Amino acid sequence: MTKTRIGVSGWSYDSWRGEFYPEDLPKRRELHYASRRFNSIEINGSFYSLLKPDTYRSWHDDTPRGFVFAVKGSRFITHNKKLKDIETPLANFLASGVLLLEEKLGPIVWQLAENFAFDEDRLARFLDLLPHDTRAAARLARRHDERLDGRSWTETERKRRLRHAIEVRNETFFVPQFVRLARQSGTAIVFSDAADWPYTEEVTAGFVYLRLHGSEQTYASRYSDRALDRWADRIRRWRAADQPSDARTITDREPPRRKARDVYVYFDNDQHANAPQDALHLSDRLEL
Q: What is the pLDDT of residues 49-93, one digit of tens each?
A: 999 999 999 999 999 999 999 999 999 999 999 999 999 999 999
Q: Is the pTM of this model over 0.95?
A: yes
**Binning pLDDT at 50, 70 and 90, where does residue 212 land?**
very high
pLDDT of residue 29: 97
Quick one: 167 exposed, middle or buried, by C-beta within 10 A (0-12, 13-18, 19+)?
buried
% of the chain residues with pLDDT over 90? 98
Nearest to 206 by CA among 192, 190, 189, 186: 186
Q: What is the pLDDT of residues 152-206, one digit of tens each?
A: 999 999 999 999 999 999 999 999 999 999 999 999 999 999 998 999 999 999 9
Whole-angstrom Cα distance, residue 75 to residue 81? 8
**Domains of the chain: which residue ranges?**
4-285
**Binning pLDDT at 50, 70 and 90, where does residue 265 land?**
very high
Average pLDDT of the chain, as a whole number: 97
**Binning pLDDT at 50, 70 and 90, where does residue 211 land?**
very high
pLDDT of residue 2: 77
Is the predicted pLDDT of residue 125 greater than 80, yes or no?
Answer: yes
CA 147 vs CA 49, 50, 52, 96, 151: distances in Å: 13, 10, 12, 10, 8
Laid out side by side, the sheet with 164-167 consists of 40-43, 68-72, 105-111, 164-167, 188-189
As a whole number, mean pLDDT of residues 251-256 equals: 94
185's CB contacts (< 8 A; 6+ apart) are 127, 128, 130, 164
Neighbours of 191 (CB within 10 A): 23
Which fold would CATH assign to domain 4-285?
Answer: TIM Barrel (3.20.20)
